[in-house]
């Protein structure tokens, strides 16, 4: 089976083996497959949705995420797919599937899926061998186009030894490609609808249902609040040259901007990004314009300002740059070096000054002390519609992490108490605000 160009929906449920789904996703991509991801709430406690969004370059379908603003997500995702993988598939998910319960993205997709479904169980050996799980697995094997992979014996995460391990991602890929890995419960060589699974099932997986709809229409659904609208996001950091080798910069990874782009795309917006250097990767569908310095970013933003309905200034822009960068590498003399710095243009203030009355502008304020005072002052001076105050001072949050301490500050209102949340949750707060303001200004 050639996976090149195949469209695979990956359902991730809440087991410790969820981290292996990241490896599986990458292996499938290397084979040329396109991947979309749905996650249960429990799965998000093991692997952050932003990880899958970044790897798949597509917003993740979450129960309480902004993507559910689109009312038929549970239909669109399975309809898009050629194959639905649930990896890992927990005992809870197996029970839901067997009894027709659907109250989370993974089970909803299973319920509405008409393409082949491949489940990879993973759980403790006692659970795997329990009568309830064995019965539910047998029930699922009787479902048409539903295949259950083996759970090989070995050392489990809890330290016990027995069946219930997740099949290794490489073996799952080999099975899909048509390898010799057997399916649990194989009893019939030809008729899966009778309850058995054919040995040659992998070769036929993609050939038993007619596909409709093509790619997910994230940007073409009139029901979405961002339909027909464009958002411009600044991202990453800037680098201000000292000489051809050295520069002044900061620690921004770009993860927040990636989360913003994902959530805006899920709300139906066309997304343009002016991005400085950064490590995180943007989801597919975002038009990214690369720059390096603050002056380059300023120029790129002002050129694109008129075409945007909303601007979100997420980039960590250097306030100063060396006045006269050296044209060749400064030699190490171990003597004191004095750099004369000059201010960089203020991209936020200049875009606010040039914006149209119906455009919405949101800025960012990263502060390490006197949070409320500094945020209110920056909001007043900038004239922005709102300011996202964030503070990278808590342990395991801020630069390079998935969580951050934040609050949305708006003119004339008391600064709300800062809360710790994921960068996706931060992004949803901003997108909800932008949606409301645009509705107010456009009627």
Per-residue model confidence as pLDDT tens digits over 289-331: 999 999 999 999 999 999 999 999 999 999 899 999 989 888 8
Query: Distance from CA of residue 281 to its chain's centroid?
Result: 10
What is the pLDDT confidence band of residue 213, given thresholds at 50, 70 and 90? very low
Phi, psi of 12 (to 5 degrees): -120, 120
pLDDT at 34 over 50: yes
What is the pLDDT confidence band of residue 279, given thresholds at 50, 70 and 90? confident
Q: Are residues 83 and 6 in contact, defined by beta-carbon separation less than 8 angstroms?
A: yes
Highest mean pLDDT: which range of 74-83, 136-145, 152-161: 136-145
What pLDDT is stored for residue 303 in this prediction?
96
Residue 57 shares a structural domain with residue 124: yes
What sections of 267-333 are H helices per DSSP? 294-304
- The tens digit of pLDDT for each residue in 226-275 reads 989 999 999 999 999 999 988 998 878 888 898 888 788 878 899 999 99
Residue 104: give the domain boundaries.
7-207
DSSP code, position 237: B
What is the pLDDT confidence band of residue 393, given thresholds at 50, 70 and 90? low
Find the catalytic residue in 158, 208, 295, 314. Answer: 158
Listed in order, strand segments (DSSP E) in 261-380 are: 270-275, 286-290, 310-313, 320-322, 341-343, 360-366
The verdict on residue 411 lying in a domain is: yes
Residue 148 shares a structural domain with residue 242: no
What pLDDT is stored for residue 102 in this prediction?
86
Residue 435 shares a structural domain with residue 352: yes
The verdict on residue 216 lying in a domain is: no
- The tens digit of pLDDT for each residue in 353-379 reads 999 999 999 999 887 777 777 888 889
Residue 288 shares a structural domain with residue 397: yes
The verdict on residue 362 lying in a domain is: yes
Residue 305 shares a structural domain with residue 432: yes
Residue 179 shares a structural domain with residue 294: no
What is the pLDDT confidence band of residue 333, given thresholds at 50, 70 and 90? low
Spell out the residues 6+ positions from residue 313 whose beta carbon is closer than 8 angstroms to its own.
234, 347, 348, 351, 361, 362, 363, 364, 384
Cis peptide before 87 (omega within 30 of 0): no
Residue 141 shares a structural domain with residue 178: yes
Return the CATH number at 395. 3.40.50.10300
Q: Are residues 41 and 14 in contact, defined by beta-carbon separation less than 8 angstroms?
A: yes
What pTM, to 2 d.p., does this model score? Answer: 0.54
What pLDDT is stored for residue 69 in this prediction?
41
Q: How many residues does the chain have?
A: 443
Burial of 204 (0-12, 13-18, 19+ CB in 10 A): middle
Give the rounded percent of residues in the chain with a pLDDT score beyond 90: 40
Q: Give the tokens for residue 384.
A: 């922005």
Q: What is the mean pLDDT of the chain?
A: 81
pLDDT at 346 over 50: yes
Q: CA end-to-end span of the chain, whole Å?
A: 52
Residue 438 shares a structural domain with residue 356: yes
pLDDT at 212 over 70: no
The verdict on residue 66 lying in a domain is: yes
What pLDDT is stored for residue 163 in this prediction?
75
The verdict on residue 218 lying in a domain is: no
Residue 203 shares a structural domain with residue 239: no
- The tens digit of pLDDT for each residue in 64-101 reads 754 434 545 567 788 899 999 999 999 999 999 988 88
The verdict on residue 219 lying in a domain is: no
The verdict on residue 212 lying in a domain is: no
> What average pLDDT score do residues 406-411 get?
92
What is the pLDDT confidence band of residue 345, given thresholds at 50, 70 and 90? very high
Residue 200 shares a structural domain with residue 235: no
Residue 257 shares a structural domain with residue 147: no
The verdict on residue 224 lying in a domain is: no
Residue 341 shares a structural domain with residue 237: yes
Domain tally for the chain? Answer: 2
Phi, psi of 251 (to 5 degrees): -100, 15
> What average pLDDT score do residues 415-421 get?
84
Return the CATH number at 23. 3.40.50.1950
- The tens digit of pLDDT for each residue in 165-196 reads 888 898 888 888 874 333 443 333 333 333 33
> What average pLDDT score do residues 418-443 get?
87
Catalytic residue status for 58: no
How many angstroms separate the Cα of 116 from the Cα of each of 86, 144, 175, 209, 229? 11, 8, 14, 8, 36
């Amino acid at each position: 089976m050639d996976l090149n160009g195949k469209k695979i929906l990956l359902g991730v449920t809440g087991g410790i083996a969820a981290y292996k789904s990241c490896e599986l996703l990458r292996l499938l991509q290397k084979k040329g497959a396109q991947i979309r991801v749905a996650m249960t709430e429990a799965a998000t406690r093991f692997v952050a949705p932003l990880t899958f969004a970044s790897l798949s370059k597509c917003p993740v379908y979450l129960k309480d995420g902004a993507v559910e603003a689109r009312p038929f997500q549970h239909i669109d995702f399975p309809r898009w797919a050629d194959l639905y993988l649930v990896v890992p598939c927990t005992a809870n998910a197996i029970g839901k599937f067997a009894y027709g319960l659907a109250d989370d993205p993974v089970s909803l997709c299973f319920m509405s899926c008409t393409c082949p479904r491949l489940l990879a169980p993973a759980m403790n050996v006692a659970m795997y061998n329990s009568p309830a799980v064995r019965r539910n697995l047998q029930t699922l094997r009787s479902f048409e186009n539903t295949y259950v992979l083996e759970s090989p014996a070995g050392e489990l995460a809890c330290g016990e030894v027995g069946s219930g391990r997740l099949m290794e991602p490489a073996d799952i890929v080999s099975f899909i490609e048509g390898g010799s890995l057997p399916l649990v419960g194989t009893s019939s060589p030809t008729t899966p609808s009778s309850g058995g699974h054919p040995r040659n099932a992998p070769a036929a997986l993609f050939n038993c249902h007619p596909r409709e709809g093509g790619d997910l229409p994230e940007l073409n659904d009139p029901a979405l609040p961002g339909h027909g609208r464009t958002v411009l996001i600044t991202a990453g950091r800037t680098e201000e040259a000292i000489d051809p080798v050295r520069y002044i910069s900061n620690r921004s990874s770009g993860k927040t901007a990636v989360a913003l782009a994902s959530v805006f795309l899920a709300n139906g917006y066309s997304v343009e990004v002016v991005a400085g250097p950064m490590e995180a990767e943007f989801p597919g569908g975002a038009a990214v314009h690369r720059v390096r310095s603050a002056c380059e970013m300023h120029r790129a933003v002002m050129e694109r300002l008129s075409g945007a309905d909303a601007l979100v200034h997420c980039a960590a822009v250097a306030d100063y740059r060396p006045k006269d960068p050296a044209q060749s590498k400064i030699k190490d003399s171990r003597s004191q070096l004095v750099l004369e710095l000059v201010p960089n243009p203020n991209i936020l203030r200049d875009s606010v000054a040039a914006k149209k009355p119906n455009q919405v502008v949101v800025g960012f304020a990263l502060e390490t002390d006197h949070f409320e005072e500094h945020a209110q002052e920056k909001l007043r001076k900038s004239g922005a519609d709102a300011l996202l105050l964030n503070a990278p001072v808590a342990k395991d949050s801020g630069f390079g992490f998935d969580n951050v301490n934040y609050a949305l500050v708006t003119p004339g209102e008391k600064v709300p108490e800062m809360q710790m949340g994921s960068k996706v949750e931060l992004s949803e707060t901003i997108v909800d605000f932008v949606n409301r303001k645009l509705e107010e200004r456009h009627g």
